[in-house]
């Protein structure tokens, strides 16, 4: 059975790179009827926080990347790592190192001055029994280092990158357990992946250098070596490492922006892989069927926030009004808009005429707010252009007609406006532009008679009367 995992460190919220890795692992597991496992690599207590754990869980759930097993916590598995470290010690595949940080730092600085690469010189491997006993009596802190077989090459076939090879001479004797008993990343990772029967390790390309060390550990511990697939980097449009200047990097920041999780999942899937053809918009279920791990590209992926916004707008257009209402409610509450008094059918109608003009739920909330707030903000240029003496005169004429209208709906309000324009030998636009500004405060928006219909007679009359009291002077002072 295929078994994959995502193994974040709880030192912050889930970010774009981790989310993409989680998604690819999830897709591969579901496609192969396998298991998707969540492991929290919290071996560093000084950096790991419960808040970060909760943020990771919340982010994965928001993206609908539900795990089958876990979360497992490495901090609860220290005795296991110690047991396997002792096995390696007994078999002569690891040794105690008593070197102080000061000695190691001095050796590194010396190598730097001599312009040569530095590796641990195995000083402690060659200590005599007497020297070791003395160090033990003195209580000198010690770590456990792995004895790297330097006479051989380390080779593995990466599903994405193909054959990758490195000489054992280029791998130093790395630490397995620190002086305080905590395991290093490579050691804990191998023990856990083996004991959790992980079949495929799908992770970021930065981990290729770790893979050589891990393969040596798999072999030394007689563990089955999994398949490896290293995903390309995600860069900003400027070709540099993704950072805050390229857009939010925490997944939950995108939620705050009003990005739909299904749109973000769709976009993440395309950061390094393509289903082929012109297909860009697809559901998570469709991605499970289409995804091919071996088709993931070697080249770096480029994160384009504008493309994500476009994709999100497409999802909003295609979403049901009920789905968008559920998503936009928190944004309306943030704006102190009371929803209890609002008829849900009316809100759905407001969403219907505004969703195609909203790139995200935040924008949708702003557009909905126009229909719910007592006061609205008017575009200053619009006030100059359409609420001048001529514009207000047209609004006054329209107000009389609308006040007398008993059957107030989209069709009747359009009909009487056009009849009024015809009777006064004017263009309908001379009434429509001032009306739009009076009702929404904006120069553009949904079809105006859709707006009139959704607002209803009472609010339309109220907004027109308010607009008639505006002058550029008093508007500028109030804003």
Residue numbers annotated as active site: 244
Cα distance between residue 195 and residue 237, in whole Å: 40
- The 10 Å Cβ neighbour count of residue 154 is 20
How is the chain split among helix, strand and coil, in percent rounded to 5? 55, 10, 35
- Of the candidates 277, 270, 278, the one whose C-alpha atom is nearest the C-alpha of residue 297 is 270
420: Cβ contacts below 8 Å, ≥ 6 apart: 397, 398, 401, 431
d(CA 151, CA 117): 18
Query: In Å, what is the CA distance from 272 to each residue of 18, 234, 235, 267, 317?
Result: 13, 8, 11, 10, 26
d(CA 349, CA 369): 13
H or E element: which one contains 351? helix 344-354
Q: Number of helices and strands (H, E) in the chain?
A: 20, 12
CA dist., res. 440 & res. 454, Å (int)? 12
Exposure of 245 by Cβ count < 10 A (0-12 exposed, 13-18 middle, 19+ buried)?
exposed
Q: Considering only CA atoms, which of 367, 369, 374 is closest in space to residue 353?
A: 367
- DSSP-derived letter for residue 250 is B
Q: Which strand ranges, in their side-by-side order, compose the sheet holding 35-40?
A: 3-6, 35-40, 69-73
Would you tell me how many other CB atoms lie within 10 Å of the CB of residue 160?
19
DSSP for 301-322, written as a single string: EE--HHHHHHHHHHHHHHS-HH
Beta strands in 62-198 (DSSP E): 69-73, 94-97, 143-146, 153-158, 162-167, 175-177
CB 393 within 8 A of CB 363: no
Strands (E) located in 93-249 = 94-97, 143-146, 153-158, 162-167, 175-177, 200-204, 227-231, 234-235
- What are the structure tokens assigned to 377, written together? 């903000």
């Amino acid at each position: 059975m295929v078994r994959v995992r995502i193994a974040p460190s709880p030192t912050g919220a889930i970010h774009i790179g981790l989310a993409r890795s989680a998604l690819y692992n999830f897709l591969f597991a579901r496609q192969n009827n396998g298991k998707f496992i969540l492991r929290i690599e919290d071996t560093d207590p000084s950096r790991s926080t419960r808040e970060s754990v909760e943020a990771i869980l919340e982010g994965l759930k928001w993206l609908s990347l539900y795990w089958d097993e876990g979360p497992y916590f490495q901090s609860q598995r220290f005795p296991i790592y110690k047991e396997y470290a002792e096995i390696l010690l007994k078999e002569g595949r690891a040794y105690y190192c008593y070197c102080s940080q000061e000695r190691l730092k001095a050796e590194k600085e010396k190598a730097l001055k001599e312009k040569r690469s530095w590796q641990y010189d195995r000083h402690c491997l060659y200590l005599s029994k007497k020297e070791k006993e003395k160090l033990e009596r003195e209580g000198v802190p010690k770590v456990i280092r792995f004895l790297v077989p330097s006479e051989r090459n380390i080779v593995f076939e990466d599903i994405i990158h193909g054959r990758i090879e490195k000489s054992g001479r280029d791998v130093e004797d790395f630490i397995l357990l620190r002086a305080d008993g905590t395991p290093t990343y490579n050691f804990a990772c191998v023990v856990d992946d083996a004991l959790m029967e992980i079949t495929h390790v799908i992770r970021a390309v930065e981990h290729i250098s770790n893979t050589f060390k891990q393969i040596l550990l798999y072999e030394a511990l007689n563990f089955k070596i999994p398949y490896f697939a290293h995903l390309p980097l995600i860069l900003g449009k400027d070709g540099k490492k993704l950072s805050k200047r390229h857009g939010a990097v925490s997944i939950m920041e995108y939620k705050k922006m009003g990005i739909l999780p299904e749109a973000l999942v769709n976009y993440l899937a395309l950061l390094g892989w393509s289903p082929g053809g012109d297909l860009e918009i697809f559901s998570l279920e469709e991605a499970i069927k289409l995804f091919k791990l071996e088709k993931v590209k070697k080249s770096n992926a480029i994160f384009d926030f504008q493309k994500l916004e476009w994709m999100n707008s497409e999802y909003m257009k295609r979403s049901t009004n009920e789905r968008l209402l559920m998503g936009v409610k928190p944004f309306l509450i943030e704006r102190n808009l009371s929803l209890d008094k609002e008829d849900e059918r009316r809100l759905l109608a407001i969403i219907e005429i505004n969703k195609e003009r909203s790139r995200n739920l935040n924008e949708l909330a702003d557009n909905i707010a126009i229909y719910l707030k007592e006061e609205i903000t008017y575009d200053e240029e619009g006030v100059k252009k359409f609420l001048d003496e001529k514009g207000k005169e047209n609004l006054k004429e329209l107000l009389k007609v609308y006040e007398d209208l008993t059957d107030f709906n989209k069709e009747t309000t359009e009909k009487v406006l056009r009849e009024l324009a015809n009777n006064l030998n004017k263009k309908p636009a001379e009434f429509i532009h001032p009306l739009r500004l009076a009702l929404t405060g904006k120069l553009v928006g949904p079809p105006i008679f859709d707006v009139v219909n959704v607002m209803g007679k009472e609010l339309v009359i109220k907004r027109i009367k308010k607009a008639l009291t505006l002058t550029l002077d008093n508007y500028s002072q109030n804003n």
